[in-house]
Amino acid sequence: MTFSGVGFFTWYWGAWLAAFLGPELYFVFTNPSGTLSDTVWDFEHLNTSRPFDFPMWTDVHWAVAAVVWLLFLWLSLHIPFGLLR
């Protein structure tokens, strides 16, 4: 069943929200130690009481942080000056 404006990506993001965001929010409110971020931090042996302990960051952490900041910078300039002209 397809409606106008509803396509593959609509169903994809809907399934993603149901499969991942639903359980994540459930654990946030019931048992925060069961969240995905807490599991990853435990796997990486990060000290969650000091998440910004920069000496623990590897080159990969810095590379991902740089990419995220560059994406943010690009979006913050692209959206108001590119899409709204």
Do 47 and 17 share a structural domain?
A: yes
Instruction: Quote the CA–CA distance of 75 and 56 in Å, as a whole number.
Output: 29
Do 62 and 47 share a structural domain?
A: no
Report whether pLDDT(18) > 80. yes
Least confident of 2-6, 19-23, 44-48, 66-70: 2-6
Buried (b) or exposed (e) across 11-40, using 16+ Cβ within 10 A?
eeeeeeeeeeeeeeeebeeeeeeebeebee
Do 35 and 12 share a structural domain?
A: yes
pLDDT digits (tens, 9 = 90+) for 28-51: 889 877 888 777 777 777 766 776
Which residues form the domain of 29?
A: 1-51
Do 47 and 60 share a structural domain?
A: no
Question: Which pTM does this prediction carry?
Answer: 0.42
Total count of domains within the chain: 2
Report for 12-26, 47-61, 65-79: range of highest mean pLDDT: 65-79
